[in-house]
Amino acid sequence: MKREEVKRVELDFTHHDIDSNIDAKTQLWCGEKKIGKTVNANRAGAYFLKFEAGHSHIKHHGVTIQDWNHMRSVAREIILQKREGKFPFDKVCIDTLGECYKRCGDWILEKYSLMHEGDLGHGKGYALIENAFREVIMPLSNAGLGVIFLAHTDEKELKDGRNESYKKQVAALPKGCSRTIGGMVDLLLFFTVQWNETSEKWERVIKTAPTQFYEAGVRYPEGWTKRLPAEVPMSWEALKGAWDSGNPGDEVRAKQPEPKTEEKEKPVPEPQGDIPVRKTGTKLG
């Protein structure tokens, strides 16, 4: 067998700055149907990749995805136009993520003449779907655009440390989809309603931090001065405003000292006489 020749490539040694712009982040917005996810993605200025109906109530830009082959072509065109500086939007919205993954699954079933993903055995059908999904979603998320994934939620029954049952709201996504998206997203946000005791009204809010009862979480850029509140009013403007308030700015971030990697840790001196020596360490932030 002829040994495959390994081609040399040019490595990128440029310094990559922190991207603190929320418009460029990858986000997963979860919540019940008709809670306000689509409306706020539209307010964020996203270009919609529509996998299900439900957009006639808003003026928006986007394309209705017919099938997975169509999605592959649309994603490729968006990436090409972005590289050429012709794509007029800074983010796209996949609405909804669950239906997007299902279209990918339908394409694999038809391609391999299968009735169900499990027909191939040993998880091969599921792997084919997940790989086909990654081949489209990964390049799109790496194109320099913000990506907002919208997903419905399911109620999952769990048990706590005292073996008592409780219910948790989780994204209604297949495992393969969750594995792909889970490591990509910078913001996992839960859209919900809650009762305000002061105003005595139900209010729509966005949860940004996880609890026992729902999934949420945020990956903050280095040097961020303030985390998002545990909840913000359900509006893109409120979310963006809360995010930007924690941005230290380029000048502040530039003043932060670079970590010293070459300098070795100084040894703690031996105690002399009866004077105790206290060891100190670096505080981790």
Q: Does residue 276 carry a pLDDT above 90?
A: no
In this structure, is the dihedral angle defined by the CA atoms of residues 171, 176, 178 and 180, taken in order, positive or negative? negative
- pLDDT for the residue numbered 250: 53
Confidence of residue 242 (pLDDT cuts 50, 70, 90): very high
In percent, how much of the chain has pLDDT > 90?
66
Q: What is the pLDDT of residue 118?
A: 85
pLDDT range class, residue 258, cuts 50, 70, 90: low
User: Using 50, 70 and 90 to split pLDDT, how confident is the model at 248?
Assistant: confident
Distance from C-alpha of 161 to C-alpha of 178, rounded to nearest angstrom: 25
Res 280 pLDDT > 50: no
| Count of Cβ atoms closer than 10 Å to residue 233 Cβ | 14
Regarding the domain delimited by 22-247, which CATH topology (the fold level of the hierarchy) does it fall under? Rossmann fold (3.40.50)
User: Which pLDDT score, from 0 to 100, does residue 255 have?
Assistant: 52
- The contacts of residue 100 (CB under 8 Å, 6+ apart) are 49, 51, 65, 71, 94
The pLDDT tens digits of the residues spanning 205-233 come to 999 999 999 999 999 988 888 999 999 99
DSSP string of the chain?
-PPPPPPP-----SPPPP---GGGSEEEEEESTTSSHHHHHHHTTPEEEESSS--TTS--EEEE--SHHHHHHHHHHHHHHHHTT----SEEEEE-HHHHHHHHHHHHHHHTT-SSGGGGSTTHHHHHHHHHHHHHHHHHHTSS-EEEEEE-EEEEEEE-TTS-EEEEEEE---HHHHHHHHTT-SEEEEEEEEEETTTTEEEEEEE-S-BTTB--EE-PPTT---PPPSEEESSHHHHHHHHHTT--HHHHHHTSPPP-SSSPPPPPPPP-TT-------PPP-
What pLDDT score was predicted for residue 273?
43
Q: How far apart are CA 222 and CA 65, in angstroms?
A: 37
pLDDT digit string, tens, across residues 67-79: 999 999 999 999 9
Q: Does residue 128 or residue 263 have the better pLDDT? A: 128
Contacts 24+ apart (CB under 8 A), 214-217: 214/153, 214/168, 214/169, 214/170, 214/190, 215/30, 215/168, 215/169, 215/170, 215/171, 215/188, 215/190, 216/188, 216/189, 216/190, 217/187, 217/188
Q: Does the pLDDT value for residue 191 go beyond 60?
A: yes
Task: Answer whether residue 282 shows pLDDT above 70.
Answer: no
Q: What is the mean pLDDT of residues 109-137?
A: 92
The answer to pTM > 0.85 is no
The amino acid at residue 136 is: V
Average pLDDT in the chain: 87
Token pair belonging to 114: 């299968």
Of the pLDDT bands very low, low, confident and very high (cuts 50, 70, 90), residue 119 is: confident
pLDDT at 275: 39
**Model confidence pLDDT, tens digit, residues 22-46:** 999 999 999 999 999 999 999 999 9
Q: Which residues contact 248 (CB under 8 A, 6 or more apart)?
A: 223, 224, 225
